[in-house]
Structure 1
């Protein structure tokens, strides 16, 4: 024992013992402290623990406002709240996620909003289900649900899955996956709504940092409800952003354009240009001034660094840089003028339609064309005919369609499988429509790249000229490597030509089954065969809520009015507009300028669209499919021959070059045979006699101006040289600005100055082709007696505090220095035009003196002539010019009527007309052009 105590005594004296004792004490202290923290005080610390994470966010900037010349708002930003959701680590199970999403959807719906629902499945009140898409778009959805990378990876069983089977898979999954785990505690409708949100999150499973917008532009009341339920809605956030709002958008969208989310291509282009301020999801200008003045309007985003808790609530703002709003843009456009001009165009065009509408169709527009137009232009919703809740009339028509559809597909299969190898030219009319549709499908979907085919190849030339079959052309294209496998959604690389053709055929047939263009062809054919009647078409307009049931409905049902008169009434009341029909005529443009400044007062393109609805996919698709081309800015993009409006330029060239004088008389011999082929005056029976230049402008005598063009082509020896003549004429075209665009700050087509035949060019034909904006600059230069401006729709640019940044006062490019006698002759001739019997009745009740010139141009022998009219007023002190172009408008009389009504508004009314607008009364007069 003594030995043990001695050993222990020696051990306590060693350093090891001291160190060991110290560590033992510290370890015991640590255990005691851990016991206190986790056991004794554990609940207290758990309750006070706050999860903190740093998060950097961008603060959106407010886009600048666009105003008219009088400070009236055309486009502005308003702050809006959106509800977003992202995957949150606090929710581990499907049940937790579904319960949270269901709670969120109830809050949204109780406030009168709808949650995102982008899955192509519809659930009816009786619990039955149906797919709302078909063909390739449905297969792409099925592919996504099953998590495949390409359609060809789907099994045949998966491709043919029923809607009930797919919903069951989305709800419960299979043995290998639970998918969304939506149990039977939810109704079918509730489950689908949950599945729709889960699907959006599922599609972002590889980019979980991206949130999904559940609903947008919500009220403050709903925002408050969401915030009150924050603890129960992990991952749900309120995001503030700006929504672009357009006032009276349909009248101004061709000028303002619209905004949208930046595309990957646009983002890449900006990065290449060195602009890194834009990121995915930013809103940018897509068209119009929104696009061309993007950098001025956009503003600079702010940023902030915040700390958030596990629920996403902000605990602390560590750093914040405020955003800078964009600059404001003031236009020279007068809002009231713009609206009035648009309405006048629509009324006049509707009046022409009424005047030309016949029950038989000879020498006008047949009522059957109107019925077909309501189908072709998407006014009648063909998809709704097959819905479960369709009306009895819709169901009966769809039943007929189904039998016709089957025979149509048989015809198409014969074209594709080679059993019908007729050339395009030898096919029937409806077969040609199918071939053209198939070509559009494979081209628009990137399957066939025709540009990679050689134009020198024999088969390609035969295809272009309609001398080969669709079957042979497609096999030829595959052999030349012009068909893309990736566009066919095929993952297999090594396929033979027959396998590729089979895949392409399958793609085409699936695409045809879902494209509205195919349905429109079949329904139009049914109309032509008498399987659908005009009365049924009219009744469909009520069944589909195009019109609300009214007295006209009762009269139609009771046989008081027939379908023809019903359509006439609706066009008269502008309930059916020219834009809805897309028949000739269906469009027009008007440009008004101030000749003293070069400012554009109105720049109208009819028809137009509502930029506020551009994010609506169905609406945007309807615009793309509308044959009247509402997205096309006709005022700056559509070129036509100027016709007789060009004759003032020819008169100026003749007078300034000395080939005529104001006192030169030329006898109209009707047929001008000094060149071959000979040309005739518009009046082929009665000569205008011997006339000088002012009367030649008044009567629009082609023969007189043929002679001027001919004399311009005569050299010093009197020999006619057309190259010499056209060059002299082109010099004057350039003086009036026809060698360049008008200067308007929008996308504009390049003008085309004629380079041939001075005789025909002298009357505005040959290869002369200009936009209404370019004609407006020309008449502005005439009205100002030689001041050639770069026209402008911009007044000034200011910052957010309305301090001037830039003044856009139009510049005079040059002054056209003509003799006073030349200008006098032009003015007097244009003044006489208004006194001409053709236009005297139009302008008779206008107590200001107007100078004008009509023009008619033929583009297509099978379609009506274009109608043009240029004018200015007052005659002795021009304050405004008005240029009107009505494509396929049956000549210039109607264009002159629009110009007169616009001038009447500017100088007399200056207020919008009251009461219900109606189609204009058109008397069908013809004019001398």
Structure 2
């Protein structure tokens, strides 16, 4: 038996089955042990470290080059900062939009709680009346609409897309088929979704901006979209603490663009921002390394020198986990910094010119404000127009210096509350009167009080602007239309009813009960519509405030007190107490604020509120100063636009974003006379001794143009030097008349052709060459006789006039002006140095040049306030009338020193009354440049005492 057991055991052990069984047992033991080790012994450790790795290549932007002035003073640089980004790591599901929008909304709340703001480079914002409005127009708007509706080309836009309103675009992007920004009334379905619901309009725009930016990245996984830049340490901390709730949100190290003394240089340097589709397309033709995440120059030098300033990108291989967090990097290629730009500008000179311009503008205002309600401009010349103090009070409201919305807040102060209560009562009365007019009284427009004419005119404009009155359908030749617009002999009731009858009203914009409503029903709904629109309309509200001030319902003292209550001015306690105790009148108090620049010309936005000046090196064409007043803070435009600040700039009536040195064109006035003199010399009409007799009026054409001296005498016989000195119009009328003679017959066209030929020699037919945005000049194409004295349709920028007077100063070398001195790499190695570029030479004899220069010198010698200047100056004044109801433009061009010119200066004060003021302003700048006066005596931060103008209207 034992032998049998033994034999069976041996057979079993030696059998293949036994061996296989043992092997399986051993394998099972090993597996069980390994599972035990993984799940029990090291389970938690391995679970925490388990991650799905996804590899991608990531580009790293190089830092942008710096910008310096000619002396190496820093103007633009980069600063390390933290930015908040968001990546699309959300799984595609019906809840994706909801989850993503919720995350973004939460993130925005966190940012704003710590005083930070989100990027707002969307092309739609809220206007002053709280309505969605486009911030771009024309081609830029069409390109934006094409991007919104997914069209490759503007031409692919459908008609309803091309004409979509900002409101319609927002509703579309918030809608079910796009980003689903809104809320559901019941179930999660398209039929129950309401776009925008659950959020304020402001919140909608903030979320929409981020969603739209993410969309431009085509929702590529792990490509970050910047939500906010230069955020605070508090924001960094709170986002890091809540990173698990903020899926896809990260804090990244970044650089932000910073500008030194921004207000003085912003119109030149510009600012940076995220590239848009059109910019990207153009930039990629030169460098295909650009992509939609890049920051590029948007304006000014930042834009024109983009290819030099933009750094070279680096790269790295990035491994991210299943929630998009970076867990490993490799293959790092370091980016290269951009090149540094040195401008021809002198920083100190630029700042000094800006401050002098501001002080002189304040001085002109101070000299021309009078203590009255109104001033009738009909019976006075443009140089004699005055500014009523009541216009000053209203300007503080009209240009949004006083915050009207704060009147309604619980924190409103005593005078704010009192004014607001008065406004509510006045508004109720105005609405009641208008409603009575629209339904019962029906007063003809010509018989309305001026106040109600303003209101009714605004109502009609609003209906046109909102598309309720269809401009394309309105017939401007229609007799009823003429009766309303020109003859003013019908009432608004009659006009609107006629518009309805003629089908000029788009009834789809009215809340009609039926599509078959009769005229009476349509009219009633139209009136309801317009009152609904007027209810919170800021422009209409301002009109009511205007007439409350004029009627003394709101006093000047209340306006002054509100300046204190809203902390809009920083003055001593003593001055405050004088106002509070009525020790000073509101007129005196306000005049003191203007005199001390507590309230600036730019804030008032009354004439004059803007000015420009360009200073050049006459021997190179280098621009030493290019000043535009007022300026703006480009720090708030770079690194993601500050939406509130941008909206403020867009509504500012002084238009600070317009570069007045390169983008404002006006008639040059008599500063053009050196061009005409050149034409006379070159065409053989005159020589240095030729004289024409001025009797005050030129009678060869009809109506006969007059000299500025007409009515006060005449200039008599003058040669060209005397004509320039005295700015005699008749001399240049005669010369232009002779320029136009063809076979004994006067031809204005022939005269214009010759004037244009010589304007071209001075560079007045094309832009000046400066490397920033500039409007092309316009040489007159009508009335050769009047064009010879800078009238006709002559229109030039200040920088064009600077190029022109530079050519005169150096006796004929016309340079292409430049703002660029040189370019270096980050190590200081010279990459490019800008050499003077001569455009052409104006060939005159030394005697002819001397005749022009002597005349210009005598212009300045005749001005007593230049007599104490230790540097001799030659120049020419110009006064240009644009509107009989507004002051003249004041211009002055000059060069110094007279015997050996170094600099040329062109100064323009728009609506600045008289060229005399421009000449006085320029004198101070010359004093500064040649260090003739102590700077503290020259720049006092108070309005300059200008006194009365002594210059003729030339």
Give the structure-2-normalised TM-score: 0.78
Q: Distance in 2 between matches of 1:444 and 1:826?
A: 52
- After superposition, the C-alpha distances for 1:434-472 in whole angstroms (9 at most, x for unaligned) are 56766776787899995x679888599859965796747
Give the whole-Å Cα distance in 1 for the aligned partners of 2:211 and 2:926: 60
Which among 327, 331, 337 is matched to residue 339 of structure 2?
Answer: 327
Which residue among 809, 821, 824 is the counterpart of 1:795?
A: 821
Q: Distance in 1 between matches of 2:307 and 2:466?
A: 33
Does the alignment pair 1:238 with 2:248? no
Partner Cα separation in structure 1 for residue 328 and residue 365 of structure 2: 66
Rounded to whole Å, the distance in 1 between the matches of 2:454 and 2:570 is 34
Which of 695, 704, 721 does residue 694 from structure 1 map onto?
721
Aligned: 1:534 with 2:546: no
How big is the shift at 1:117?
A: 8.6
C-alpha contact (below 8 Å) 2:320/2:327 kept by paired residues = yes
CA distance in 2, matches of 1:105, 1:201: 10
Partner of 2:138: none
**3-state DSSP of counterpart to 1:217:** coil
User: Which of 545, 569, 575 matches 1:547?
Assistant: 569
* 1:291 corresponding residue in structure 2: 303
C-alpha spacing 1:501/1:58, structure 2 compared with 1 (3 Å): farther
Instruction: Name which of 576, 580, 603 aligns with 1:557.
Output: 580
User: Where does residue 850 of structure 2 map in the other structure?
Assistant: 824
Q: Name the counterpart of 2:539.
A: 517
Structure 2 CA distance for aligned equivalents of residues 307 and 489 of structure 1: 57
User: Structure 1 residues 28 and 258, CA, compared in 2 at 3 Å: closer, same or farther?
Assistant: same
Note if contact 2:89-2:324 (Cα within 8 Å) is conserved in structure 1: no
Segment drifting more, 234-243 vs 702-711: 234-243
User: Quick one: which of 341, 363, 386 aligns to 1:351?
Assistant: 363
Residues in 1 aligned to 2:808 and 2:765: alpha-carbon distance in whole angstroms: 16
Alignment of 1:105-120 (within 5 A): 113-114=114-115
1:730 CA drift (Å) = 2.2
Alignment of 1:99-248 (within 5 A): 113-114=114-115, 216-218=229-231, 236-248=249-261
Distance in 2, Cα, partners of 1:305 & 1:575: 56
Indicate the residue corresponding to 2:156 in structure 1: none
Shift, 1:656, TM fit: 2.7
Distance 1:290 1:117 in 2: 23
Name the residue aligned to 1:600.
Answer: 623
Report what 2:395 is aligned to: 373
Aligned residue for 2:648? 622
1: CA distance, partners of 2:655 / 2:204? 38
Q: Decide whether aligned partners of structure 1 residues 848 and 195 sit closer, same or farther in structure 2, where only a CA change above 3 A counts.
A: closer
Note the C-alpha offset of 1:687: 1.6
Q: Is 1:922 aligned to residue 946 of structure 2?
A: yes
Q: Following TM superposition, by how much is the alpha carbon of 1:403 offset from its aligned partner in structure 2, in angstroms?
A: 3.0
Alpha carbons 1:859, 1:866 under 8 Å: kept: yes
> CA separation in 1, counterparts of 2:672 and 2:294?
46
**Match among 881, 894, 910 for residue 904 of structure 2:** 881
Q: CA deviation at 1:372?
A: 0.8
Alignment of 1:716-735 (within 5 A): 718-735=744-761
The whole-number CA distance in structure 2 between the counterparts of 1:294 and 1:145 is 35
Task: After superposing the two structures, state which structure 1 stretch, 655-664 or 892-901, moved more.
Answer: 655-664
Q: Is the 8 A contact 1:424 1:466 kept in 2?
A: no
Say which SS state the counterpart of residue 708 (structure 1) adopts. helix
Equivalent residue number for residue 805 of structure 2: 779
Flag the 1:448–1:216 CA change in 2: closer, same or farther, 3 A: farther
Give the 3 Å change call, closer, same or farther, for CA 448–735 of structure 1 in structure 2: farther
Counting only pairs closer than 5 Å after superposition, residues 396-475 of structure 1 correspond to structure 2 as 396-408=418-430, 429-430=450-451, 433=454, 471=496
Q: Is the 8 A contact 1:113 1:215 kept in 2?
A: no
Unaligned runs of 5+ in 1: 1-8, 120-130, 159-169, 178-192
Q: Report if the CA contact (8 A) 1:237-1:312 is conserved.
A: no
Matching residue within 772, 785, 792 for 1:746: 772
Contact 1:591 1:602 in 2 (8 A): yes
1: CA distance, partners of 2:293 / 2:932: 46
Question: Structure 1 residues 150 and 198 mapped into 2: Cα distance closer, same or farther (>3 Å)?
Answer: closer
**Distance in 2, Cα, partners of 1:14 & 1:545:** 102
Whole-angstrom distance in 2 between the partners of 1:870 and 1:603: 14
Please report how far the alpha carbon of residue 524 of structure 1 lies from its aligned counterpart in structure 2 after TM superposition. Answer: 1.6
**What displacement does 1:290 show?**
1.7
Deviations 1:55-107 (A, max 9, x none): 544423212211111111111121211245668889x99xx999999999999
> How many residues in Structure 1 have an aligned counterpart in Structure 2?
861
Shift of 1:913: 3.2
Give the deviation of 1:302 after TM superposition.
2.8
- 1:135/1:510 contact within 8 Å kept: no
Q: CA deviation at 1:248?
A: 0.6
Contact kept, 8 Å, 1:754 with 1:768, in 2: the verdict is yes
CA deviations 1:141-178 (Å, max 9, x no partner) are 9x999986599x99xxx9xxxxxxxxxxx9xx98768x
Match of 1:766 in 2: 792
Q: Mark the CA change 1:274 to 1:587 in structure 2 (over 3 Å): closer, same or farther.
A: closer
Which stretch shows the higher mean deviation, 58-67 or 21-30? 21-30
Secondary structure at 1:634's aligned position in 2? Answer: coil
Aligned equivalents of 1:883 and 1:81: distance in 2?
44
Of stretches 910-919 and 291-300 in structure 1, the one that deviates more from structure 2 is 910-919
Note the C-alpha offset of 1:260.
2.2
Q: What residue number does 2:378 align with?
A: none
d(CA) in 1 for partners of 2:522 and 2:72?
60
Q: Please, which of 568, 588, 596 is the counterpart of residue 591 of structure 2?
A: 568
Distance 1:508 1:287 in 2: 39
CA distance in 2, matches of 1:118, 1:598: 40
- Is the 1:116–1:197 Cα contact (8 Å) retained in structure 2? no
Q: From the superposition, tell whether residues 846 and 261 of structure 1 become closer, same or farther in structure 2 (CA, over 3 Å).
A: same
Which residue of structure 2 aligns with residue 317 of structure 1?
329
Do the aligned partners of 1:308 and 1:315 also contact (CA within 8 Å) in 2? yes
Match of 1:128 in 2: none
Please state how far the C-alpha of 1:794 moved relative to its aligned partner.
Answer: 1.3
Distance in 2 between residues matched to 1:794 and 1:135, nearest whole Å = 43
Aligned-partner SS, 2:661: helix
Q: CA deviation at 1:364?
A: 0.8
Q: Following the alignment from structure 2 to structure 1, what is the Cα–Cα distance between the partners of residues 309 and 783?
A: 47
Aligned to 2:894: 871
Which whole-Å deviations, capped at 9, do the CAs of 1:677-709 have from their partners, x for residues lacking one? 112211122122222221121111112222222
Return 5+ residue gaps in structure 2 as ranges. Answer: 1-9, 121-125, 134-165, 189-201, 376-384
